[in-house]
Structure 1
Amino acid sequence: MPTADRTAVVLPSLDGLSTLASDVNGPGVVTGSARLASGYWHAVRWVDGRIEDLGTLGGLNSQAEAIDEQGRIVGTSQDSEGRRHAVAWVDGRIQDLGLTGGIFSIAYDTAGDRVVGVYHVTDSFSGRRAFVRTGATEITIDVPPGASATAVNEAGTVAGTYGWQDWDDPAPDDYQAFVWRDGVTRPLGTLGGATSTANGINDLGHVVGTSWTTDGVFAAFYWDGSTMRRLATTADSPTAQAVNDSGLVIGTDGHGGRAMIWPNPSATSQLLPLPSGAVGSRAINVNDQGLIVGQADYLSPSWHGRAVVWR
C-alpha cells in the first residue's frame, strides 16, 4: 500500500507520556486527552502546538471528544462523586451538560448550536440512548435501544448507530448505521452483511463507517446520501472514521494498526507515515483543510500513545 505524502508531527504532553488527539477544527485547534503523572486523564487542547489542561468537574478524569468551528469543545468529565457527565468547554471554562437522565453520559460531537452524544440508563450496551441537544433543549433520538449518536454536521443531521447489544444477549447482532434530522430517522443499510456502524458525517451529509459484507468481511464504507459503497483498500478489517467536505476519508487498517486515508471515496487507500520510533497509528478525525489528527503507538520506554497531527 503506498504511503501518503504527509508529515507526522507529535504533539506535546502533560506530565505523563500518553496523549490522544480526537478532533481538529478549521482554525487548527486540536483537542483530545492527556495522561497526568498521577495516571489520571484530563481533556486538553493544543493551540499553535502548545498544550492546555482543560480540567474537570471536580473529579479525577475528563476526556475531550470534539471541537467545533467556534472553539467549543465537548466530551465527558467525572464530578466529585466519580459520576461521568457530558460537558462542554467554552473559552476554556467547563460547563456541565448533565447526566441527561441516566447514570453517565458522554458528548461525542458538536456543530452549530448542537451537541450529540450518549447517555446510559443501565451500565450496558442495551442501556445506551442517543441524544441531541440544541441550545438548552435536549431530546432522546427515537431509535431502538443500544443507540449512539457519534457525529453531527452544521445542518443538524446526526449520524449514529442503533441496536448495540450486550455480549451475552441471545439475539443475533443487528446494529445499524442511521442518520437523523428533525425527528426523521433513515437507516443506511449495510454492504450485504448483517450490521453497520456510522462513525463520521460531513456538512454535505455524507457518512463513513464500517459494515460487514455478504462474504463475512469487515469493510469500510462511504454513504453519499443515497447509496452505501465499499471503500477500496488492500487492508484487512479497515475502519473509515471521518470524512471532510472535500471527500477526504480517514481511517485505520484494523489488523496492521496503521492510520490511512482515502484521498477521495473512489480512490484506493494510502498509509499515513509513522513518526520516528512509532510502531502503529490511528487516524481519528480530519478538518476541511485536510489536517488529520490521531495517535501513534510506541513500545519504549513502555507502551504508550502520543497525539499526532498529519500535515
Structure 2
Amino acid sequence: MNTRLVALAAGALMGMATATPALASPGTGTPPARQYEAVGLGSYQGDFLEPSALNNHRDVVGKVGSQPFLWRSGKVETLAVLTMGSTGEALDISDSGHIVGASTTTDGVQHAVYWKADGSVWELPGLGGPFSVARQVNEHGVILGEAMDADSRWHFVRWDDRVVTDLGAFSGDVSTSGINGAGQMVGTAPFGASRHAARWEANGTLTDLGVVAGTTVSWGHAINDHGVAVGQASNGGMGDVTVAFSADGDKSSVLPVAGGHSATALKINNAGLIIGRTFGGPEESHPTIWVDGVQVDPKSVGVGAPLIKDLNDNGDLIGGFDDMHAGEAYLYL
C-alpha cells in the first residue's frame, strides 16, 4: 500500500484569539535541541505500569495488572471500578482531571466509564448492547468512544454531560478518532467514490480535508486545539511515501520519513509536535517524531521506548511497550 503521512490543518477555530500555526515545509526547520530525561514509572504490586495517556500536569493514566491507575508526582494509585471484582483501564486524562476508560464487570460486560476528580467512577450510558468504551476526553468533559447496540453492532459515540449521541455504526467508510478542546472531531468519511480525512464541528458540520497529489484515500487520526489534524493517505498501490496536508485540505506538503518507509502520524500537540510510527527497515515498527516538518529519531534525543503512547503540550512524552517487549514504562521530560 502506498501510504502517505499527512498533517491536516483544519483552519482557525471560531472565537479563538490565537492564529492557527502554519505547517512547516517538509524537511525544513531544525531538529530539537532538547534532550529528554527518562523518569521510570515503576511498578505496582509486582506489575509494571502500562500507560495510555498523560496531561500537561504530567499525570499519567493506564492500567496495571487488570486495574486502572493514576500516576501523579511519582505516586501510583489504582482507580475505582464499577463493582467488586471488576477490571478496568484508564485511556485518557484531561488537564482538569477528567479520566475516561472502561470497566469490565464479573459477567464479562465492558462499560464505558468516567472518573471524577474525587476518584469516584460513573458508568456512561450505552446504546443497548453489552459493550462500550470511552477513549478520549477534552477539557470540557466531552468524551469520544464506542458502544455496541442491541443488534451487536459497534457505533462511534460522543458523551456530553453523560448524555450519549450516536455518531453512526462502524463501517469502512466512517470513523472518528480524535477530539479537541473546542469539540471538533477528526476521522474519515465518504466523499464521492472515496474516503477522505474529515473534520466534524461541534454542531455536526462536516468538512472534507481532502487528499494530496498522488493519493486517493486519507484518514484523520488526531486534532489539536488549533484545528490542526494529523493522519495518513494512500493511493492503494505499492511503494510507500509520506505527506502532509494544510489548513482546509487545499494545500499539502510531505512529512519526510527516512529510507522511504511507510509511516503513520498518530497525535499532535498544540505546539505542532507530532508523534507516530514508521514501518520497515531493521525494526518492523518503531516510533518517530516530527518537529517543524523534520523527522527526528527518538533515540537521538534520549527516547528509547519501543512505543510512544502520548505527548502533552510541553513536549513531554510517555513511552510504553508492545507485545514484543516488556519492562518499565517511562515518562520523558
* Conserved? CA contact 2:129–2:151, under 8 Å: no
The CA deviation string for residues 144-201 of structure 1, in whole angstroms up to 9 with x for no partner, is: 73544332111110122458xxxxxxxxx96643221111122433444454332221
Which residue, 195, 199, 204 being the options, matches 2:221? Answer: 199
One-letter code of the match for 1:286? L
Q: CA deviation at 1:290?
A: 0.9
* Conserved? CA contact 1:110–1:151, under 8 Å: no
Alignment of 1:285-300 (within 5 A): 285-296=310-321
* Conserved? CA contact 1:258–1:272, under 8 Å: no
Q: Which residue of 2 aligns with 1:185?
A: 206
Q: Quick one: percent identity of the two aligned structures? A: 26
| In 2, Cα distance between equivalents of 1:194 and 1:16 | 49
Q: Which residue of 1 aligns with 2:155?
A: 129
Which residue, 41, 58, 67 being the options, matches 1:11? Answer: 41
Greater displacement, 68-77 / 183-192: 183-192
One-letter code of the match for 1:156? G
| In 2, Cα distance between equivalents of 1:96 and 1:309 | 29
The CA deviation string for residues 188-244 of structure 1, in whole angstroms up to 9 with x for no partner, is: 334444543322210001111233246535566544431354321216332211111
Three-state SS of the structure 2 residue aligned to 1:150 is: strand
| In 2, Cα distance between equivalents of 1:309 and 1:258 | 17
Which residue, 112, 115, 124 being the options, matches 2:143? Answer: 115
Alignment of 1:64-143 (within 5 A): 64-91=90-117, 92-111=119-138, 112-121=140-149, 127-142=153-168
| In 2, Cα distance between equivalents of 1:69 and 1:186 | 28
Structure 1: gaps spanning 5 or more residues:
36-40, 164-172
Computing the radius of gyration over CA atoms, which structure comes out larger, 1 or 2?
A: 2
Q: Which residue of 1 aligns with 2:52?
A: 22
TM-score (norm 2): 0.75
Alignment of 1:1-311 (within 5 A): 5-35=35-65, 41-58=66-83, 59-91=85-117, 92-111=119-138, 112-121=140-149, 127-142=153-168, 145=171, 147-161=174-188, 176-181=196-201, 182-191=203-212, 192-213=214-235, 215-217=237-239, 222-227=244-249, 228-234=252-258, 236-255=261-280, 256=283, 257-264=285-292, 266-272=293-299, 281-296=306-321, 303-311=325-333
One-letter code of the match for 2:254? R
Total equivalences in the alignment: 288
* Conserved? CA contact 1:247–1:263, under 8 Å: yes
> Which structure: greater strand fraction?
1
- Between the two structures, name the one with larger relative contact order (CA 8 Å, sep ≥ 6): 2
Structure 2: gaps spanning 5 or more residues:
1-30
* Conserved? CA contact 1:78–1:84, under 8 Å: yes
CA-atom RMSD in angstroms: 3.1
